[in-house]
């Protein structure tokens, strides 16, 4: 036990003289904005969209602007990307007749107003404009949108996946792992070289074990108090019309065991496993951006220790640490969703504050 005012050293992460961030315990943030500009330019500059199909020739010239913020946080080896970008591209098009004579050349722009980590599983909005709005200019604009949009979306997905893997921080993380493997074990001398090899081998095995854990699953446990009857809260969570009300999104909810549900405009789907009115809800939950085949389990218990005071406990298990795009924010986003989009919304909308 530490003396009063001194703190317990077991819970203090001290600064090291060498400035090392041991085991990435502290948050390490890397600014990725310039790196993002370079990568997006590499992906999108001088990109052909049409090369004579329908006598139309269209290409993206270059990335004109990348504004916003982009960063990667790393803590204890976990990569958490964050970005909100506005991207503008320039493009040019030419229409020719059947004999190859030029009918019109135009210039235009493509704007991607919002590339965000929050919408990493969705294709971004894309806007196309052209300087000449005549009939041929409009034809070129429509062709740029219909044929160029999937090309741009594909390149944006490459950027999103690169950020999910750590962006510029990925190389730094990998180099640190290599350095760590190559370092001699503390206290080992040249004479003891025979004992160093097995110790290093154990280090490698530990790292492999951690990697398996990272690809596994997590759980969330929440406890909240509401000023209402337990049966009222149960009914709200099982009633699709009230779900629509407090979430402002579409919902379909079966009230039968084995019945299916869909909430948040279809972003979350699942099935009822066990229902005890006013006491228990057990469901299977699946988010649309999770890897295929992964289903989590939600268990909600209701306890009314005194009239009109209800204790709700939410246990959400088998949550993947990464979504299908490699973003390692699934657990944080799920917990935040439970608190901000469900429990706190119910408390505010139905007046169940304590």
Same domain, 166 and 237: no
Same domain, 163 and 227: no
Task: Give domain status of residue 187, yes or no.
Answer: no
What's the structural domain count of the chain? 2
Same domain, 228 and 142: no
- CB-based contacts of 5: which residues, under 8 Å, 6+ apart? none
Same domain, 265 and 169: no
Nearest-angstrom CA–CA distance, 287 and 270: 9
Same domain, 265 and 335: yes
Nearest-angstrom CA–CA distance, 204 and 22: 17
Task: Give domain status of residue 309, yes or no.
Answer: yes
Task: Give domain status of residue 208, yes or no.
Answer: no
pLDDT tens for the chain, residues 1 to 354: 444 444 444 334 444 444 444 444 445 678 889 999 999 999 999 999 999 999 999 999 999 999 999 888 876 567 788 889 999 999 999 999 988 999 999 999 999 999 988 888 888 899 999 998 889 999 999 999 999 999 999 999 999 988 888 888 766 555 555 454 555 544 444 444 444 444 444 444 444 443 334 457 899 999 999 999 999 999 999 999 999 999 988 999 999 999 999 999 888 999 999 999 999 999 999 998 898 889 999 999 999 999 999 999 999 999 998 888 888 888 998 999 999 999 999 999 988 876
Go through the chain and tell me how many residues it has: 354
Confidence (pLDDT) at 27: 53
Structure-token match 């070289």, residue found: 193
Task: Give domain status of residue 103, yes or no.
Answer: yes
Per DSSP, the three-state class of 274 is strand
- CB-based contacts of 167: which residues, under 8 Å, 6+ apart? 30, 32, 35, 36, 70, 72, 81
Same domain, 169 and 253: no
Task: Give domain status of residue 19, yes or no.
Answer: no
Confidence (pLDDT) at 209: 40
Task: Give domain status of residue 183, yes or no.
Answer: no
Using CA atoms, how far residue 168 sits from 40, 44, 81, 291, in Å, is: 13, 19, 11, 25
Structure tokens at 276: 């005890």
Same domain, 161 and 296: no
Structural domain of 143: 28-173
Domain ends where: 173, 205, 240?
Answer: 173
- CB-based contacts of 305: which residues, under 8 Å, 6+ apart? 311
pTM over 0.75: no
Structure-token match 């149960």, residue found: 234
Domain ends where: 121, 138, 173?
Answer: 173
- CB-based contacts of 38: which residues, under 8 Å, 6+ apart? none
Return the CATH number at 307: 3.30.530.20
Same domain, 233 and 168: no
Same domain, 165 and 95: yes
Structure-token match 């006598």, residue found: 55
Nearest-angstrom CA–CA distance, 268 and 266: 5
Return the CATH number at 129: 3.15.10.20
- Burial track 55-90 (b if 16+ CB lie within 10 A, e otherwise): ebbbbbbebeebeeebbbbbeeeebbbbbebebebe
Nearest of 321, 324, 334, 337 to residue 76 by alpha carbon: 321
Same domain, 126 and 251: no
Task: Give domain status of residue 273, yes or no.
Answer: yes
Same domain, 256 and 128: no
Same domain, 160 and 293: no
Domain ends where: 109, 142, 173?
Answer: 173
Task: Give domain status of residue 185, yes or no.
Answer: no
Confidence (pLDDT) at 228: 92
- Residue 115 has φ and ψ, to the nearest 5°, of -105, 115
């Amino acid at each position: 036990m530490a003396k009063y005012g001194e703190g317990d050293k077991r819970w203090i992460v001290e600064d090291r003289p060498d400035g090392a961030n041991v085991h990435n315990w502290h948050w390490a943030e890397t600014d990725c904005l310039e790196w993002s500009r370079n990568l997006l330019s590499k992906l999108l500059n001088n990109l052909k969209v049409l090369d004579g199909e329908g006598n139309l020739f269209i290409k993206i010239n270059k990335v004109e602007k990348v504004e916003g913020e982009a960063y990667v946080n790393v803590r204890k080896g976990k990569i958490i990307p964050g970005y909100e970008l506005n991207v503008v591209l320039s493009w040019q098009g030419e229409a020719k007749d059947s004999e190859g004579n030029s009918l019109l050349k135009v210039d235009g722009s493509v704007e991607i107003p919002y590339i965000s980590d929050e919408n990493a599983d969705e294709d971004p909005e894309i806007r196309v404009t052209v300087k000449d709005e005549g009939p041929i200019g409009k034809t070129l604009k429509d062709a740029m949108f219909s044929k160029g949009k999937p090309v741009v979306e594909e390149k944006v997905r490459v950027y999103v996946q690169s950020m999910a893997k750590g962006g510029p921080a990925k190389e730094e993380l990998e180099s640190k792992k290599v350095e760590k493997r190559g370092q001699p074990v503390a206290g080992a001398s040249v004479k003891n070289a025979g004992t160093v090899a097995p110790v290093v081998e154990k280090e490698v095995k530990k790292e492999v074990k951690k990697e398996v854990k990272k690809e596994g699953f997590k759980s969330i446990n929440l406890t909240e108090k509401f000023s209402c009857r337990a049966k009222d809260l149960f009914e709200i969570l099982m009633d699709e019309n009230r779900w629509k009300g407090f979430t402002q999104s579409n919902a379909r909810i079966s009230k039968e065991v084995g019945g299916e549900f869909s909430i948040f405009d279809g972003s979350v789907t699942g099935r009822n496993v066990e229902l005890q009115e006013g006491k228990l809800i057990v469901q299977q939950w699946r988010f649309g951006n999770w890897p295929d085949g992964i289903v989590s389990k939600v268990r909600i218990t209701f306890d009314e220790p005194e009239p009109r005071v209800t204790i709700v406990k939410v246990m959400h298990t088998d949550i993947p640490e990464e979504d299908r795009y490699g973003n390692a924010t699934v657990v944080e986003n799920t917990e935040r969703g439970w608190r901000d989009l469900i429990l706190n919304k119910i408390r505010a909308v139905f007046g169940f504050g304590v």
